[in-house]
Amino acid sequence: MAPYNKYLYIAFVAMGLYFLVSKEPSWDSISFLGIALAFDPFDQDQPWGQRPVWQRGILLVHLMVVLGLVGMMLFASFG
């Protein structure tokens, strides 16, 4: 695991949350939160099935939040 993954993950999540809170949800906040998932803060050498449940839960909830925001933005643009 690269030693900087945790810091990049935290930085991208923080920027995404900043854009999400400072104004209404935008593609900027979604992109920062989505890119944060690329920097898995946990041990990447460990297979998905062998990771603790709490690590998988954090990453899955993070993914669901990003997909939910994408759905909201698409619904708002077509609705």
Ramachandran category for residue 26: left, alpha or beta (phi over 0 → left; psi -120 to 50 → alpha): beta
How confident is the model at residue 23, as a pLDDT? 78
Q: What is the pLDDT of residues 13-63, one digit of tens each?
A: 999 999 999 877 788 999 999 999 999 999 888 999 999 999 999 999 999
User: At 43, phi and psi to the nearest 5?
Assistant: -65, 110
Which one has a higher pLDDT value, 4 or 35? Answer: 35
**Separation of alpha carbons 78 and 56, rounded Å:** 33
Confidence of residue 79 (pLDDT cuts 50, 70, 90): low
**Separation of alpha carbons 76 and 79, rounded Å:** 5
